[in-house]
Structure 1
């Protein structure tokens, strides 16, 4: 069996930081990388000691730090964020966090994301995966658009419906302003049942640790089943929201993970 090519450092032209202005009417087929691309951890999370004290509600300072790794998805499975939608209207919204589960092993999800999928219908990804042991696996840079929720809308605290259409052949979604995080599903959840045994303590700790580093307000943290417009999504099943929010309050909110991209003229 021939050996796979070693990951190579990515150039700015392969995974640039900049936004795109507006989707083209007939987008070209997605392009895969001929060799695996390697991005540094700093592309996914910047070390930033600034504590957004005004958003912190618990004086405790947990010492928990999860293991982190980078497993970049294939270029066909994520795309650019846009400043305007397909109709030329503003596509800028405050970021949200969307929670998912893998409904399968974490490694099977990584394998799928790292497989080239030139057809739009097959493309899917999260920004980050949290494995059962709490390992944080970064898949798509936060300045890029992961394909985590197809036909979806976010309803803000004021009742405003937020969604952006970036492809004329598909309905609007939250992907243009979302940060998608998935929890690895336990073995007994690899099915279509409405519940399973739940997630590990390490996963909840890593999830709280991770989301705190986005600085996202609690009111803009949501779930796939909540934003989904098809009514078919159930994830994340058996999620303990009370436990998660309790843990989230113990972590200082920072902006180590910046969800968004730079305008082309400043990138």
Structure 2
């Protein structure tokens, strides 16, 4: 009897060991803001800005979408009963230009627009860095207005935050999706800006407009829980006061695992260069994973926040990109 008991115990532990060895680790599925299916283009380069400038990847976009700039400014309050699907962003007959996304400031000797608290002496490297910039305006269905008040009429013009994402797809597949007019609200998605593998900055949505980057989301700060509801059919989110920046995922990251090889130096340099132009403080820079309420978003994976913060400190903090209604 004792022998049979020992055999049973041994069999139990052997089974347990086999399960531990062969069982796959639990994964949190990466759900991108849209379903991107095009494989990432391989970019052959060294991960330094000087080399990357000589090997820019091929960025494809529809120039026809860029013929009409959206109306400048914000709306007072969202409609209580919006049509379904929601109305597209209001456009003008004016062709869109770079200063719709950022307004270059006067030469460095004029410091009238610089924040004295965050104005660091730039390094020679940061002064010499100049990324390629491309405008690939999103279709009017895929972004909307920012509002001064929420659905209930409460003030909604919160201080801006920056939300960092990753694409889990190639830059070109993201552009194709954002530039396609979607009548289904569940497919309407956008970032304000995308930073490609080679450091190219791609502008989709002007900073005074609301990109659809984080649906069910909240930002927790010293002020409390910050989220604004702008559509009665969807939960409150950070979109009304967020500036969404996404990093193109490296080719070995096209999966739902927790990590990948990480982003290039050019991407970190362009990200620091871009964020420095918003003047958003470090404590209001966050990630999609942190603001997401659903627990399904884990981007940007393998992000080196210490490296980003170090590079950010080498750039002067200015306000070329004015986020929101101010």
Superposition TM-score, scaled by structure 1 size: 0.90
State the match for 1:265 in structure 2.
Answer: none
Structure 1 residues 60 and 87: CA distance shift in structure 2, 3 A: same
Does the 8 Å CA contact 2:278/2:320 hold for their aligned counterparts?
yes
Deviations 1:45-76 (A, max 9, x none): 10014432320345524211100010000000
Deviations 1:185-216 (A, max 9, x none): 00111110110010000000000000000000
**1:56 equivalenced with 2:119 (yes/no):** yes
Deviations 1:82-126 (A, max 9, x none): 011111111110000000000010110111000111121111000
Query: Take 1:124 and 1:76, find their aligned partners in 2: how far apart are those partners?
Result: 9
What is the DSSP-based 3-state SS (H/G/I as helix, E as strand, rest coil) of the residue aligned with 1:69?
strand
Query: Take 2:90 and 2:74, find their aligned partners in 1: how far apart are those partners?
Result: 20
Greater share of helix: 2
Query: Take 1:78 and 1:112, find their aligned partners in 2: how far apart are those partners?
Result: 13
The runs of 5 or more residues in structure 2 that have no matched partner are 1-61, 107-112
Which of 153, 175, 178 aligns to 2:242? It is: 178
Deviations 1:141-168 (A, max 9, x none): 0000000000000011x15110000000
**1:143 equivalenced with 2:208 (yes/no):** yes
Structure 1 residues 248 and 230: CA distance shift in structure 2, 3 A: same
Query: Take 1:58 and 1:247, find their aligned partners in 2: how far apart are those partners?
Result: 12
State the match for 1:70 in structure 2.
Answer: 135
Query: Take 2:66 and 2:272, find their aligned partners in 1: how far apart are those partners?
Result: 32
Deviations 1:13-53 (A, max 9, x none): xx11121111112212333899x984100100100144323
The runs of 5 or more residues in structure 1 that have no matched partner are 263-267
Does the 8 Å CA contact 1:186/1:198 hold for their aligned counterparts?
yes
State the match for 1:18 in structure 2.
Answer: 73
RMSD (Å) for aligned C-alpha atoms = 2.0
Task: Report how many residues are paired.
Answer: 254
Query: Take 2:90 and 2:152, find their aligned partners in 1: how far apart are those partners?
Result: 30
**1:193 equivalenced with 2:269 (yes/no):** no
Query: Take 1:42 and 1:250, find their aligned partners in 2: how far apart are those partners?
Result: 24
Matches within 5 A, 1:86-165: 86-156=151-221, 158=222, 160-165=224-229
Q: Which protein has the larger Cα radius of gyration, Structure 1 or Structure 2?
A: 2
**1:243 equivalenced with 2:307 (yes/no):** yes
